Amino acid sequence: MKKRHITIILLCLGLFSTAQDELYQKSYDQLNQMLQDITTYSFKKAVFSVENAYYKGRLDTLMFENKIKLLTLLSKGLVNSRSLIYNGKDLDEVEKCAAVFSLMTDSIPIAHPDGETFVHLPFQYDFNDPFGHENWENMFVTKLLQTHKGNCHSLPYLYKILAEELDTKAHLALAPSHVYIKHFNEKDGWFNTELTSGVFPRDAWLMASGYIHLDAIKNGVYLKALNDKESIALCMLDLALGYTKQLNYNPDFVLKCVNKALEIFPNFASAHVLKTEAKGKKLHQLLDENELTFDIADQLPKADGLKTEIEKDLRHIHELGYRQMPESMYLDWLISLKTEQEKYINQKLRTFK
């Protein structure tokens, strides 16, 4: 009787795993269709698709859409209720981006028709598990919408979603373990928007840690304004990372995701890193199946070939200029923007009238 119960449990787990694999495949297909221009690009839909796969298809679509609609409406209200000290021809675009920035970083009073005034509170950086080690949901926009607390992944993602809802551009950009926003306007050129601290840092701050190698800048690994398809490539990596959180995940699916991301963004270092890790998992599976250890992998040609691929990939990652930044140093780096603002803030940017 006990064996029968174990068999039933294992069967249920197998069916559950298959159902979730189908959700991940569905999300992959949706992202891939955007990359191939088969369906219309939508960063909002891409993010929703990835997070819904992790949530096993139980993400509250109505909640997600309604919160985005409300924030978009508030942003439009800010655009209409104030003017900026800015006289460029692209004023309309600058006003929209400024409204999203204010919405995410400032307290906004809202007058209700019945005479009461409510305050929309700013979104905050959550120092509790900011890398999603304990709970991968801490990386999600949906978590940010529910709690008003997020990190350097969810905050810029929400900013980009809201900018696109207002029909304006916001470019994601990468630094070690970090995502931020790059904008371009007629008067100031390219500038950085940092949601974790609510300021506009110069590239000097991003480079100050010493973990951005010059090769990484030259190769477009960091500090580059990503286009829309490269942003979908980030979502493809997110899909693969979420999948690795599932028990006994299939490295072939991870490899499919990262290879697609690298087709669009060839020097996407984080995708190269995950690709190497997935190959490592395949190598260990192969060695276990053949009762071999890593040091004698050359006794199995397939394993030896995979080991050679991994070594080659690691050399390529280093040549790109990628360096792993210690997590403790990353948090100190973020805090430095608050404590040493005079060093790093872009003073050219205009303020509100």
3-state secondary structure 39-106: CCCCHHHHHHHHHHHHCCCCCCHHHHHHHHHHHHHHHHHHHHHCCECCCCCCHHHHHHHHHHHHHHHC
Residues 6+ apart with CB under 8 A from 35: 229, 232, 233, 260, 263, 264
**Residue 120: enclosing H or E segment and its boundaries?**
strand 117-120
User: Residue range 324-332: average pLDDT?
Assistant: 85
Interatomic CA distance for residues 317 and 95, integer angstroms: 40
pLDDT of residue 210: 65
pLDDT-based confidence at 300, cuts 50/70/90? confident
For residue 348, what pLDDT is reported?
A: 66
147-176 per-position pLDDT tens digit: 999 999 999 999 999 999 999 999 999 999
Q: What is the structure's pLDDT at 164?
A: 98
User: Is the confidence at residue 313, as pLDDT, over 60?
Assistant: yes
Q: Of 185-189, 232-236, 267-271, 272-276, give the lowest mean pLDDT range.
A: 185-189
Average pLDDT over residues 38-45: 98
Q: Of residues 282 and 334, which shows the higher confidence score?
A: 282
- Answer whether 0.75 is exceeded by the pTM: yes
Q: pLDDT tens for residues 74-87?
A: 999 999 998 888 98
Q: What is the pLDDT of residue 206?
A: 79
Q: How confident is the model at residue 334 (pLDDT cuts 50, 70, 90)?
A: confident
pLDDT digits (tens, 9 = 90+) for 16-26: 457 678 999 99
Q: Yes or no: say if 193 and 159 are a contact pair by the CB < 8 Å rule.
A: yes
Tokens of 252: 């072939």
**In the chain, where the domains are located:** 59-344
Chain-centroid distance of CA 82 in Å reads 31
Per residue in 202-226, pLDDT (tens digit) is 888 778 776 899 999 999 999 999 9
Q: Is the pLDDT of residue 200 over 50?
A: yes
Q: How confident is the model at residue 4 (pLDDT cuts 50, 70, 90)?
A: low
In the chain, the percentage of residues whose pLDDT exceeds 70 is 90
